[in-house]
Structure 1
Amino acid sequence: MQPLAFRMRPRTIEEIVGQQHLVGPGKIIDRMVKAKLLSSMILYGPPGTGKTSIASAISGSTKYAFRILNAATDSKKDLQIVAEEAKMSGTVILLLDEIHRLDKTKQDFLLPHLENGNIILIGATTENPYININPAIRSRTQIFEVKPLQPDEIKKAVLAAIKDSSRGLGELPIVIDEDALKFVSESTNGDLRSALNAVELAARSTGPDENQKIHLTLAILEECLQKRALTQDKDGDAHYDVISAFQKSIRGSDTDAALHYMARLLESGDLQSVIRRLLIIAYEDIGLANPPACQRTVSAVTAAEHVGLPEARIPLADAVIELCVSPKSNSGISAIDNALTDVRTGKIGEVPDHLRDSHYKGAAALGRGVDYKYPHNYPNDWIAQQYLPDKLVDAAYFDAKGNSTYEEKIKNRYESLKKSQRSNH
């Protein structure tokens, strides 16, 4: 029997769950499909987020032939068969999974077929295509990021699969508890495939109760998904509460609390939330008080992504402990938010003439860059001149705190430069 996730694969663009930034009405892939002006593309993102589904739906909506190959395991001969089919019957949509593993021989064969449009390539990868995919392929494709599904989107897809009698589990008398549905929707970290497979396993391995219903409880879904609902409560908000408590514990320098909340997130399998939140914390809450700690956090996160769980807990624990005991400062985020406030409220002003681009003929006649003073031509590589627009000439966004020796040096230097700047205009 084909897995539920396979059977419930969307047949048209309208059936796709999530990814509305790409397939929603008026969005790029929706426009391509409606105009039948498809271009080759690379879809990248975590597993189970809909890369194959999008490719299948594009084929279903356009009625083009659809073929699936794997760049790592399928041969050049398999690509030749697809190319021959395209020549005989017209355009073929080729989903090439693990496209980051495409070798040069297969790539060289594919390129001319992409150029003439016989094959519409949809590459799927979990790797960053800007780093791991050959520029020759990249230059001939559009790159779209596929994002983890939101819990509400997974919940909608699970309910649809339970009710669907032709492709889903509709022939079974399933009753699913609300807390079980929330658990499978939130603990799969945006991976719809995992959610559907867990629900199918639960439904087909659970016998009917006295009412002849297949009753899916939280305990059954936990067993089938092999994750415990450590970050949930009856209201379904605790997952985000734990993430919030994690950041606030580090901000408040409570090492043990921070490790506790990270352990809850890791035990639920939510490595990505930990990684993302740690990067935010490092630069938002520690920032200029301890830049080396920020750099080491990036290194720890990179290591964690490479090794995965359970080993990822080791570099992440080191980073959390260091961030907790580090001096704190939010002067960086405060500074940029102060600047953004001015921009968003219309306090912009024109760029001073001496700072404008002067690398074109006629720029001097317009006064562009004429009076610019090149700082490296002056003592200490600095000279007073106006950089802000006239209407913002006295703006001061950076409120240096001096919460560490390093930040105190930044504060003193900033204030000294600001004073000298103001005294010379």
Structure 2
Amino acid sequence: MPQNLARRMRPRNIDEIIGQAHLVGQGKIIRRMVETSLLSSMILYGPPGVGKTSIASAIAGTMNAAFRTFNATTDTKKRLQEIAAEAEFSGQLVLLLDEIHRLDKPKQDFLLPLLENGQIILIGATTENPYFSVVPAIRSRVQIFELKPLEPDDLQVAVKEALADHERGFEFDVSINDDALYFLTHSTNGDLRSTFNALELAVLSSENHHVTLDDMENSLQRKAATFDKDGDAHYDLLSALQKSIRGSDVNASLHYAARLIEGGDLPSLARRLTVMAYEDIGLANPDAAVHTVLALQACERLGFPEARIPLANIIIDLALSPKSNAAYVAMDEAISDLGKYGNLPIPPHMQDGHYAGAKDLGRSVSYQYAHNFPNHWVDQQYLPDKLKGVDYFKPDEMGKYEKALNMRKHWIEEQKRDGKH
């Protein structure tokens, strides 16, 4: 059965890897390991289609090492034993262990000695955070690297290489218009596999192998309504979504979110929703920020179309939550004063006193430890002299939590006025 485009274009060496420059760029850690032949076992984690398998195969190709794959869910322990036997004779074997977070205990017990003696160079791949999902026994024997979604520019490079490579890409000449290319590289959420799959389908279904925007919309099964070449319409939609949520219009919020979801740009949507949770809802409902972060983590794992489900939950939550911008306004005022006055001297009692000679310099000498006083509060100067008396945080009291913060703030102010300690 012929291989699909994504598999045909898999990098043969480390120089052909698309993206992940923080790991495989010049002077970066994985490239240095390969170039010095000091490769150690590792786990690569990140969303689907960002290069976990590609990096593993490219490492093996660059080092002329045997390369085998193993799936923790579907492959048996016997298959792992066969790979281990092969590693004894091959000198160095690179094993890509897919879905490493699902590796059961018998396979773990068999694998651990092979990692210890270096018989196998393990490259684990997972979409789950290995600090939570991979057992400590394996985690302690590997280095862990996070892969990021590819940027549209990276995807564009990959598409152009596939179109130009008549050996691994397409045997015939293919052209793609600018609108179709822009739409493709901005609507696949940094997933190179999805990009290649959509490109191949569009090419094979196009007339005379010329891919138009209509071909790409049919291939991706979504409209390009949110992707104009200059980006104006896309940012207009993001702006409309934020203003609708800020204005507590749940129906408008869902409408603009639906248009953005149809466009498929999950990273932009996730970034804007995270900002809104802290900028517009803020301390009026701090739980909304927690819900937003957790929901967006679920979205990254699910991808579209299922990601629309947690998105719907948080958009409704944010739109109908009480609103407060008091926290970020307070921070902006503090930053503004920093611009005015620069780095003002810190009062001596607030400076670090945990080193030899600090006491002789008067550092931290008269500091009063708040927990030693009633209500865990004591009146002392915390700010630099020039900023004594400033009041940055002015609560809106739009929710129970912010009201509670304001009550505490008023209590402290009263204690200061009454001269209590």
State TM-score, norm by structure 1.
0.85
Match of 2:134 in 1: 133
Contact between 2:186 and 2:265, CA under 8 Å: does it hold in 1?
Answer: no
**Alpha-carbon displacement from aligned partner over 1:255-284 (angstroms, at most 9, x marks no partner):** 333211210122234445444432331122
**Offset, 1:399:** 2.3
**Alpha-carbon displacement from aligned partner over 1:43-73 (angstroms, at most 9, x marks no partner):** 1111111111111122222222221111111
**Offset, 1:22:** 1.3
Which one is further off, 408-417 or 155-164? 408-417
Q: Does 1:417 align with 2:418?
A: no
Specify the SS of the correspondent of 2:19. coil
Match of 1:233 in 2: 228
Cα 1:89/1:301, change in 2 over 3 Å? closer
Which one is further off, 30-39 or 319-328? 319-328
The residue type paired with residue 379 of structure 1 is P
Contact between 1:64 and 1:93, CA under 8 Å: does it hold in 2?
Answer: yes
The residue type paired with residue 201 of structure 1 is L
Match of 1:46 in 2: 47
Match of 1:109 in 2: 110
Once superposed, what is the RMSD of the aligned Cα atoms? 3.3
Match of 1:400 in 2: 394
* In 2: Cα distance, 1:417 partner to 1:238 partner: 48
Cα 1:299/1:207, change in 2 over 3 Å? closer
Which one is further off, 124-133 or 319-328? 319-328
* In 2: Cα distance, 1:395 partner to 1:125 partner: 52
**Alpha-carbon displacement from aligned partner over 1:10-50 (angstroms, at most 9, x marks no partner):** 12222111111111112221222222222211111111111
* In 1: Cα distance, 2:55 partner to 2:391 partner: 45
**Offset, 1:89:** 2.3
* In 2: Cα distance, 1:397 partner to 1:89 partner: 69
Q: Does 1:31 align with 2:32?
A: yes
* In 2: Cα distance, 1:136 partner to 1:251 partner: 47
* In 2: Cα distance, 1:127 partner to 1:308 partner: 14
Contact between 2:44 and 2:52, CA under 8 Å: does it hold in 1?
Answer: yes
* In 1: Cα distance, 2:141 partner to 2:277 partner: 37
Match of 1:11 in 2: 12
State TM-score, norm by structure 2.
0.86
The residue type paired with residue 347 of structure 1 is N
Match of 1:176 in 2: 176
Match of 2:283 in 1: 288
Q: How many residues align?
A: 417
Can you give the 5+ residue segments of structure 2 that lack an aligned partner in the other structure?
Answer: none
Match of 1:382 in 2: 377
Contact between 2:127 and 2:301, CA under 8 Å: does it hold in 1?
Answer: no
**Offset, 1:6:** 0.9
Contact between 1:386 and 1:393, CA under 8 Å: does it hold in 2?
Answer: no
Contact between 1:336 and 1:397, CA under 8 Å: does it hold in 2?
Answer: no
**Offset, 1:147:** 1.0
**Alpha-carbon displacement from aligned partner over 1:144-194 (angstroms, at most 9, x marks no partner):** 11111111111111011011012111x312121111111111111111111
* In 1: Cα distance, 2:389 partner to 2:18 partner: 46
Cα 1:370/1:188, change in 2 over 3 Å? same
* In 1: Cα distance, 2:416 partner to 2:24 partner: 51
Match of 1:75 in 2: 76
* In 2: Cα distance, 1:15 partner to 1:237 partner: 33
Match of 1:215 in 2: 210
The residue type paired with residue 48 of structure 2 is P
Contact between 2:163 and 2:173, CA under 8 Å: does it hold in 1?
Answer: no
Match of 2:246 in 1: 251
The residue type paired with residue 22 of structure 1 is L
* Percent of residue pairs identical: 57
Which one is further off, 390-399 or 20-29? 390-399
* In 1: Cα distance, 2:86 partner to 2:391 partner: 62
* In 2: Cα distance, 1:101 partner to 1:152 partner: 33
Match of 2:343 in 1: 347
Match of 2:262 in 1: 267
Which one is further off, 82-91 or 104-113? 82-91
**Alpha-carbon displacement from aligned partner over 1:335-374 (angstroms, at most 9, x marks no partner):** 445556778996275685577475x999989988765544
Query: Which runs of at least 4 in structure 1 moved beyond 6 Å after TM superposition?
Result: 305-308, 340-346, 360-370, 422-425
Matching of residues 83-98 of structure 1 within 5 Å: 83-98=84-99
